[in-house]
């Protein structure tokens, strides 16, 4: 396997995941997809992890799919990947998009996810960041939804995520032209939160992660993340009101709520006792996962 394709560093509640194929600008392959999914599984199960940051090793974030297979890169039947069968379970007649497996796993995360985009983020390198909660970029980063220029279509469920983030008109322009665009255009279009000098990017991402880790109740953050993302499909505010009411009532019975109020009144930092691994309320999850077919 050689060097790990994903480096992990946990410090003070913040897990930094670094895509680590710098010699290929961190090009995406099945091994990387599996490593990301496994890392997020472990992060969700580890109460020491309060937030997750993704970044890239070297001068790129992720240059997109590894094109080493040449013309047959996207012909999955002609270019079978031995590692794929272990990743895409259960097996189906239709080969599941590996970028989609990653983006759906990010979507399900119980920990907030921040992208520190340090360089080119093209193809799946861009789409894998869409279900992340906050995206920051280095001033020299480049973005591209280049699928139409490779003869394929957007993947990683980006046809769902991208219009919700930047609007359908901007999404269509970027996808239909397939052009690579600057970090400044990404900022203007709402794709990223802020731009930073390269040496200031990770500290800026870490500052946001630390603000979450140091001040917010982990169970509340996990629930809020799913409430906001899954609320994008609700038809009317009454659906949100029903859910809010149930979850506020459930959390109000738990120890975190008493600690949150008491610490505020006593003017001291809160020490929340509830844990994601054991204290999610009975109302969670409130949705049924869709099956792939």
Instruction: Say what the pLDDT of residue 166 is.
Output: 98
Instruction: Say what the pLDDT of residue 2 is.
Output: 46
Instruction: Say what the pLDDT of residue 87 is.
Output: 77
Domain that holds residue 253: 217-293
- My answer on whether 169 and 280 are in the same domain is no
Residue 239 lies in a domain: yes
- My answer on whether 36 and 175 are in the same domain is yes
- My answer on whether 183 and 226 are in the same domain is no
Residue 1 lies in a domain: no
Which of 212, 228, 250 is the C-terminal boundary of a domain? 212
- My answer on whether 120 and 183 are in the same domain is yes
Residue 289 lies in a domain: yes
Q: What is the CATH number of the domain that holds 254?
A: 1.10.12.10
Instruction: Say what the pLDDT of residue 230 is.
Output: 97
What are the C-alpha distances in Å from 162 to residues 166, 172, 241, 262?
A: 6, 9, 26, 41
Q: How many domains does the chain have?
A: 2
- My answer on whether 53 and 117 are in the same domain is yes
- My answer on whether 25 and 99 are in the same domain is yes
- My answer on whether 138 and 230 are in the same domain is no
- My answer on whether 117 and 153 are in the same domain is yes
Instruction: Say what the pLDDT of residue 82 is.
Output: 67
- My answer on whether 229 and 250 are in the same domain is yes
Instruction: Say what the pLDDT of residue 93 is.
Output: 76
- My answer on whether 120 and 249 are in the same domain is no
Residue 182 lies in a domain: yes
- Write out pLDDT tens, residues 105-121: 999 999 999 999 999 99
- My answer on whether 176 and 85 are in the same domain is yes
Instruction: Say what the pLDDT of residue 185 is.
Output: 98
Q: What is the CATH number of the domain that holds 187?
A: 3.90.226.10
- My answer on whether 222 and 167 are in the same domain is no
- Write out pLDDT tens, residues 253-290: 999 999 999 999 999 999 999 999 999 999 999 999 99
Which of 197, 212, 227 is the C-terminal boundary of a domain? 212
Instruction: Say what the pLDDT of residue 4 is.
Output: 86
Q: Which residues of the chain are modeled with pLDDT < 50?
A: 1-2
Residue 21 lies in a domain: yes
Which of 167, 195, 212 is the C-terminal boundary of a domain? 212
């Amino acid at each position: 396997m050689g060097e790990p394709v994903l480096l992990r560093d946990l410090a003070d509640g913040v897990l930094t995941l670094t895509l680590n194929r710098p010699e290929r600008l961190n090009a995406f392959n099945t091994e990387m997809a599996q490593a990301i999914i496994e890392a997020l599984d472990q992060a969700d199960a580890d109460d020491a992890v309060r937030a997750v940051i993704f970044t890239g090793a070297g001068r790129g974030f992720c240059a997109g799919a590894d094109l080493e297979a040449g013309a047959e890169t996207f012909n999955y039947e002609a270019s079978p990947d031995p590692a794929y069968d272990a990743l895409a379970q259960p097996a189906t007649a239709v080969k599941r998009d590996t970028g989609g497996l990653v983006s759906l796993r990010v979507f399900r995360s119980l920990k907030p996810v921040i992208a520190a985009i340090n360089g080119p983020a093209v193809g799946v390198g861009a789409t894998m960041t869409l279900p992340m909660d906050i995206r920051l970029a280095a001033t020299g980063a480049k973005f591209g939804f280049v699928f139409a220029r490779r003869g394929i279509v957007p993947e990683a469920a980006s046809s769902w995520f991208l219009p919700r983030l930047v609007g359908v008109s901007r999404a269509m322009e970027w996808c239909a032209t397939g052009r690579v665009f600057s970090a400044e255009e990404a900022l203007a279009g709402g794709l990223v939160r802020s731009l930073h000098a390269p040496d200031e990017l990770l500290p800026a991402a870490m500052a946001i992660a630390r603000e979450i880790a140091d001040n917010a109740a982990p169970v509340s953050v996990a629930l809020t993340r799913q409430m906001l993302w899954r609320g994008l499909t609700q038809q009317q505010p009454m659906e949100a009101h029903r859910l809010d009411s149930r979850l506020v009532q459930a959390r109000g019975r738990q120890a975190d709520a008493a600690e949150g109020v008491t610490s505020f009144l006593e003017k001291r930092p809160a020490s929340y006792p509830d844990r994601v691994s054991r204290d999610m309320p009975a109302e969670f999850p409130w949705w049924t996962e869709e099956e792939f077919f």
